[in-house]
Amino acid sequence: MTARRRRRAPPKTEPDYVPGTLLDWRDSSHWSHEERPCRYCGFPTNLRDSKRSPAHKTCAEEALAIQAAEAQAAYHQNGQTT
């Protein structure tokens, strides 16, 4: 008797990501009194990421979403999924 393989559901075409909901920056450590240019867009911000680099929350979330999409594409390109 052969084992049956379960088929996975196809990936959703639209991401579950809603801008502004990925990171929680309510902690005061993400705030600085000094405005500096965002590391992603270059506009001034008082916000700091977890490494204390200046970054808007939405810019950081967008960068994370792009990194995740690139990692997923690389995984699929290398033939790791069937």
For every one of its 82 residues, what pLDDT tens digit does the chain have, with 9 covering 90 and above? 566 777 776 666 655 656 666 788 888 999 999 999 999 999 999 999 989 999 999 999 899 889 888 988 888 877 665 5
Nearest to 63 by CA among 43, 38, 37, 30: 38
Q: What is the pTM of this model?
A: 0.65
- Tell me, what's the pLDDT at 78? 73
Quickly list DSSP for the chain: -PPPPPPPPPPPSS-S--TT-S----SGGGEEEEEEE-TTT--EEEEB-TTS-B--HHHHHHHHHHHHHHHHHHHHHTT---
- Tell me, what's the pLDDT at 71? 87
